[in-house]
A and B are shown apart, each in its own frame.
Chain A
């Protein structure tokens, strides 16, 4: 309600009285707004950089509605552009010092727009209409350091639209320069002015029964709830929609189910089977998309296969190794190669043996100091050379043991072995400290068995042709070349050579020859025997392949004075006794006279043959035939 004026009948009202009527009504409106506490920008007047091209003005959206602190209505129906380059006094707002900034405050305030001018009774010009309008006020604060400039204080009869930040050298106001945190938005009524009834509330307990207090209480509850310090509620009271392998319907049960499923070690449905895994590329192995359980199983299989591989797991170069001592390689392959190369090195000063340590070795008269194998080898070589080059007295022969793997000696050291050998040697030889040192004394041989026993064998110059053996049996001594007796036959040393020899006994002497080249044989091709004890013992008796060539001849004379047919004949004796009657005898003439053809053979045996011929010999002429015979038996 408003204060009222009661105009009465026939009252002559004045201008002031009419104006008072409007003022009282207007005051009642504004009192209502002031009493309720309504003020602020209701809508519109949203600041933004000027469009389309930003400059030092800002645009405000329309329509804009607001009420100031005394309830005066502010309204504009079209978009507004506010110049921020100067303040309400026309002073530029620019920041003059680098490193400084300045806050501007853009306010809106109520105003009256006078219009419809008229001339009153006093001949004064007055405006019949006084419409509600507005104006923008730009105020600027003092320059301050960047981040420390003070904002413009709020004004009692103005409403703050926004703050604008000016900086040094600024030519445009961007969105980031506009701050609406202090914007005086519309307030309908203060919470303290509205009462509430909290008697049945179970959570909120406002200090006073006002909206403000109730909201404060709600804020405290929510603050504790959101901070987790108070007013928490069980997860079981939070609904959850079953999804995937989780069938629970509240958060507590869902989490329990997730935990239980993920921690499950049950074969076939372990927790890892609930966790998905994408495909993982790799060479030589790759993992297909699946779940963690499947991929873990696959990885374990590969790992076991790799770890259990007896060979060819992977290249040694793939195994890293720390640098150590003189080994500079950084992989097992490189270090192994380096070790092998180093150990094989024959470089003077740094041979492989210099890389191998060796502990001290005690001994007398020589000992080895701890060092390297190289150093100890050098020491040993020196010791050995010194020992070997000792001209005399290196050590006693009795200190040298005899292994005697063949079991030939009773002695166990060189001294005793030499004595033992010399004891045996001197039976048939002259000792080294005697005249004819080393030469044979009488050769003694014991009974060496039965059959043909080998007494002596000499290879001579190494030729099988003169490989000499001497055998003895119960009757004879045999001297043989290129053959030996194998117990049942003669065996050639070389099948490229004849065999030969001789044998003598108390009753005969025999020469041998064999020309078959057979590996073994039992009969000699030829033998020549002198039967010393036989009744006929003047010549060799021959066996085998025998061919004898001898001379023979016949001559006579026809003393008659006419030609006569003369019988001529003679005999020939073989030089040796043939083994049998010859099977072939050939006569060849060397000279003849008055002789036709050759003689004919007659009366042949193993000792010789006869021959004859009938020739017609002229009177008082000689006849002769001289030639040779060749007999084969």
Chain B
């Protein structure tokens, strides 16, 4: 279930396949997936899960596309991915063939961060059950 928390030099990732949570350093990640002579600068491929081998790809949201349900879990995760994408590009963590200066960003505004993440860039998983099963 993707990113849990973004810190200064790394972030926590929960494997969607096996559920393992690991800290991924920013220095081990680059922005961009290359295919022949094309590079998609919106994608951030993460290292394979050391537990199950699954590979996660984070996608910066398309330009001009707004999430239809702000505040929902999907929207909040998208904000974290956009923030991480911008952070990596600003740190020049881009794939070969990409110029960080020309990579389009969709960095969330400070107002958006303050509104949806007042306690820091953390996103706990949604509850899995209710009532007496919580």
Interface residues of A (CB under 8 A from B): 465, 496-498, 515, 517, 523, 525-527, 543-547, 579-589, 597-598, 600-605, 612, 628, 630, 632-633
B35 touches A602 (CB 8 A): yes
Flag whether B53 is at the interface (Cβ < 8 A). yes
Of B21-29, B59-67, B97-105, B114-122, which stretch is located at the interface? Answer: B59-67
B15–A586 touching, CB < 8 Å? yes
A546 to B16, CA, bound (A): 13
Please list 26 pairs of residues, one from A and one from B, whose beta carbons are closer than 8 Å in the complex, sorted by A's number. Answer: A496-B130, A498-B130, A515-B127, A525-B72, A579-B67, A580-B61, A580-B66, A580-B67, A580-B74, A583-B58, A583-B74, A583-B81, A584-B56, A585-B57, A586-B16, A587-B54, A588-B17, A598-B54, A600-B45, A601-B45, A604-B59, A612-B35, A628-B17, A630-B17, A632-B2, A632-B77
B17 CB, nearest partner CB in chain A, Å? 4
* Cβ A579 vs Cβ B69 within 8 A: yes
Q: What residues of A have a CB within 8 angstroms of the CB of B69 in the complex?
A: 523, 527, 543-544, 579
B35 contact set on A, CB distance < 8 A: 600, 602, 612
Q: What B residues does A581 contact at CB under 8 A?
A: 59, 61-62, 65
Q: Which residue of A lies closest to B46 (CB)?
A: A586
Within the complex, the shortest CB–CB distance from B46 to chain A, in Å, comes to: 9
| Bound: A605/B63 CA distance, A | 12
B78 an interface residue at 8 Å Cβ cutoff?
A: yes
Q: Is the CB of B1 within 8 A of A547?
A: yes
Q: How far is the CA of A299 from the CA of B19 in the complex (A)?
A: 99
Contact B131–A497 (Cβ < 8 Å): yes
Give the chain B neighbours of A583 by CB distance below 8 A. Answer: 2, 58-61, 74, 77-78, 80-81
- Chain A residue numbers with a CB within 8 Å of B50 are none
In-complex Cβ contact of A601 among B43, B67, B134 (8 A): B43
CB-CB nearest in chain A for B38: A602
How many pairs, one residue from A and one from B, have CB atoms within 8 Å of each other in the complex? 129
List, in ascending order, chain A residues with CB within 8 A of B33's CB: 600-602
When the two chains form their complex, are residues A579 and B68 in contact, meaning their CB atoms are under 8 A apart? yes
| Chain A proximity mask over B101-114: 1 for CB below 8 Å, otherwise 0 | 00000000000000
Q: Which residues of A contact B71 (CB under 8 A)?
A: 523
A545 CA to B62 CA, complexed, in Å = 18
With both chains docked as a complex, state the minimum distance between the C-beta of A37 and any C-beta of chain B, in angstroms: 149
Q: Are A598 and B58 in contact (CB under 8 A)?
A: no
B107 → chain A closest CB, angstroms = 14
Cross-chain contact A588 with B54 (CB below 8 angstroms): yes
Which of B45, B52, B77, B131 meets A588, CB within 8 Å? B52
Query: Min CB distance, B33 to chain A, in Å?
Result: 5
Taking CB atoms, residues of chain A closer than 8 Å to B58 are: 583-584
A588 CA to B52 CA, complexed, in Å: 8
Q: Could you tell me the distance between the alpha carbons of A517 and B61 in the complex, rounded to whole angstroms?
A: 29
Verify A580–B77 contact, CB threshold 8 A: no
Q: Is the CB of A586 within 8 A of B57?
A: yes
Please tell me which one of the listed residues A515, A585, A601, A632 contacts residue B74 in the complex, with CB atoms under 8 A apart: A632
Closest residue of A by beta carbon distance from B70 = A523
Measured CB to CB, the closest approach of chain A to B40, in angstroms, equals 6
Residue of A nearest to B34 (CB): A600
Q: Could you tell me if A584 and B45 are in contact, using CB atoms closer than 8 angstroms?
A: no
Kindly report which residue of chain A lies nearest to residue B17, judged by CB atoms. A588
User: Residue on B with the closest CB to A603?
Assistant: B40
Q: Provide the residues of chain A in CB contact with B74, threshold 8 Å.
A: 543-546, 579-580, 583, 632-633
Q: Are B65 and A585 in contact (CB under 8 A)?
A: no
Least distance between B77 CB and chain A CB atoms (Å): 5
Closest residue on chain B to residue A524 by CB atoms: B69
How many Å lie between the Cα of A597 and that of B47 in the bound state?
11
Given known pairs A545-B126, A580-B78, A602-B40, the reply for A597 and B16 (CB within 8 Å) is: no
CA distance A603 to B126 in the complex (A): 28
Output the residue of B53, B57, B73 with the most chain A CB within 10 A: B57
Which 6 pairs from chain A and chain B are nearest by CB? A545-B73, A588-B54, A630-B16, A588-B17, A586-B16, A601-B57
Closest Cβ of chain B to A628, distance in Å, is: 8
User: Which residues of B lie under 8 Å from residue A517 when comparing CB positions?
Assistant: 127, 130
Which of B17, B48, B131 lies in contact with A597, CB distance below 8 A? B48
Nearest chain B CB to A524 CB, angstrom units: 8
B96: interface (CB < 8 Å): no
Give Cα A545–Cα B2 distance, bound, in whole angstroms.
13
Assembly CA distance A240 to B67 (angstroms): 133
Cα-based distance from A632 to B35 in the complex (angstroms): 23
Given contacts A581-B59, A583-B58, A588-B54, 16 further A-B pairs with CB under 8 A are A496-B130, A525-B126, A543-B68, A543-B74, A545-B74, A581-B61, A583-B60, A584-B3, A584-B59, A586-B54, A587-B56, A589-B53, A598-B48, A600-B33, A601-B33, A630-B17
Residues of B within 8 Å of A600, CB to CB, are 33, 35, 45, 57
Q: Least Cβ distance of B42 to chain A in Å?
A: 8
Residues on A with beta carbons closer than 8 Å to the beta carbon of B132: 496
Which chain A residues border B61 with CB–CB below 8 Å? 580-581, 583
Chain B residue nearest in CB terms to A600: B33
Beta-carbon contact of B57 and A525 below 8 Å: no
- When C-beta atoms are compared, the residue in chain A nearest to B72 turns out to be A544
In the bound complex, how far is the Cα of B54 from the Cα of A597, in angstroms?
9
Q: How far is the CA of A526 from the CA of B16 in the complex (A)?
A: 19
A258, chain B: closest CB distance, angstroms: 105
A301-B38 Cα distance, complex, nearest whole Å: 119
Known contacts A525-B72, A581-B61, A612-B35; is-contact A587 B55 (Cβ 8 Å): yes
Q: Nearest-CB distance from A390 to chain B (Å)?
A: 52
A582 vs chain B, min Cβ distance (A) = 6
Smallest beta-carbon distance B130→chain A, Å: 4
Given contact pairs A496-B130, A601-B43, A585 touches B68 in the complex (Cβ within 8 A):
no
A-chain residues with CB within 8 Å of residue B55 when the two chains form the complex:
586-588, 597-598
List of A residues within 8 angstroms of B127 by Cβ: 498, 515, 517
CA distance A169 to B67 in the complex (A): 153
Q: B96 → chain A, closest Cβ, in Å?
A: 15
Contact between B130 and A515 (Cβ–Cβ < 8 Å)?
Answer: yes
Residues in chain A near residue B3, CB distance under 8 A: 584
User: What is the CB-to-nearest-CB distance from B18 to chain A, in angstroms, rounded to a whole number?
Assistant: 8
